[in-house]
Amino acid sequence: MYLKHFGLSEFPFGLTPDTQFYFDLPSHREALNVLLIALQNGEGFIKITGNVGVGKTMLCRKLLNELQPPFVTAYIPNPHISATALHLSIASELGISFSREKGKTRLLQLLNKHLLDNAEKLQKTVLIIDEAQAMPLETLEALRLLTNLETEKQKLLQIVLFGQPELNTLLQKKSIRQLRQRISFSYALKELSPIDVEAYIKHRLTIANSASPTIFTNGAINALHFYSMGIPRLINILSHKALLSAYGSGLLKIGVKQIRLAAADTEDTCKLKQPFECRKQIVIALFATLCLLAFNHFNLA
């Protein structure tokens, strides 16, 4: 397709969360620091939330890569399952052999023994759950009960929940208030600022071995921020379509026109039918630009 045309070794704006393209955005850096410090300190429950497409799964996978021994991890990407299925999934992730014929009580005993064995080896067991807003209440309660497994000194299992803002609403339910009270650290991922978008685009192009990380003009970057509302997934979709459009026209630069064409062909982008949201994004972009200009002025002064 357009790889040779733009001098790229691979597609820079894929939708699969590839940690090779992970970019240390301010919001993601803060969230990762919160996670690593909290897990190192042995906290029980940690919660990370963010809107669709802001990079929760990418951060989740980055965390999995960062947690080297003595951490032992279990990862559940789709938690819309029953409490029993949750226990089975955790056992499978931790390499615990179990026959379904032996029953739920025996499974919990094996889980408890395995976690105790890990603790005796000075290992920290961490359960990471993506899309946690999809968990049924019964499964969330079963999750809370697992955190009752502890010694006099430490929790046997630490749990990290990644979810959309609906997770906060779910946790407000009275029936699981005990779980909510056990969340010791939480962080909300933010959308990208105009400056972040520019750095994000250049980073991805550099990783894809672009000979020119300035393929996107300044106008294109501003248009990307406007139409994507700073959401990385939408930035990737729009950038990919814009590169296709430019390639089809024989262009070597991406301008505002290519971004507009991509936005017109993409769901959930900021369009005139959403005037309030669009105006809000314009105000945010203008405010960020004014702050940057003021900062540079005072530094020069």
DSSP E strands in the chain: the ranges are 45-49, 71-76, 124-129, 158-163, 183-188
C-beta of residue 194 within 8 angstroms of C-beta of residue 237: no
Tell me, what's the pLDDT at 81? 95
Cα–Cα dist 193/230, whole Å: 6
**Structure tokens that stand for 200 in this block:** 């994000």
pLDDT tens digits for range 34-64: 999 999 998 889 999 999 999 999 999 999 9
Are 130 and 177 members of one domain?
A: yes
- Please identify, among 120, 155, 188, the residue that sits at the C-terminal boundary of a domain: 188
Are 228 and 160 members of one domain?
A: no
Are 149 and 282 members of one domain?
A: no
Cα–Cα dist 241/228, whole Å: 13
Are 159 and 77 members of one domain?
A: yes
Is 177 part of a structural domain of the chain?
Answer: yes
Are 122 and 68 members of one domain?
A: yes
Is 134 part of a structural domain of the chain?
Answer: yes
Is 4 part of a structural domain of the chain?
Answer: no
Could you write out the DSSP letters of every residue in 147-187? TT-B-SS-BS-EEEEEE-THHHHHHTSGGGHHHHHTEEEEE
Q: Minimal CA–CA distance to 176: which of 145, 140, 132? A: 140
Are 74 and 164 members of one domain?
A: yes
Is 253 part of a structural domain of the chain?
Answer: yes
Please give the backbone phi and psi of residue 124, each rounded to the nearest 5 degrees, phi first.
Answer: -105, 120
Question: In which domain, by residue range, is 36 found?
Answer: 26-188
pLDDT tens digits for range 7-39: 999 999 999 999 999 999 999 999 999 999 999
Cα–Cα dist 262/245, whole Å: 8
Tell me, what's the pLDDT at 213? 78
DSSP E strands in 124-206: the ranges are 124-129, 158-163, 183-188
Q: What is the pTM of this model?
A: 0.85
Q: Minimal CA–CA distance to 170: which of 138, 126, 127? A: 138
Is 35 part of a structural domain of the chain?
Answer: yes
Domain count, the chain: 2
pLDDT tens digits for range 130-168: 999 999 999 999 999 888 888 777 889 999 999 999 999
Are 147 and 237 members of one domain?
A: no
Tell me, what's the pLDDT at 301? 55
Instruction: Give the pairing of strands 71-76 and 45-49.
Output: unpaired
Is 61 part of a structural domain of the chain?
Answer: yes
Tell me, what's the pLDDT at 8? 93
CA distances from 264 to 228, 274, 276 (A): 12, 13, 18
pLDDT band, very low/low/confident/very high, at 275 (cuts 50, 70, 90): very low
Are 84 and 183 members of one domain?
A: yes
pLDDT band, very low/low/confident/very high, at 290 (cuts 50, 70, 90): low
Residue 100 scores a pLDDT above 80: no
**Structure tokens that stand for 121 in this block:** 């080896």
Cα–Cα dist 191/112, whole Å: 40
**AA identity, residue 60:** C
Helix or strand holding residue 268 (H, E)? none
Is 6 part of a structural domain of the chain?
Answer: no
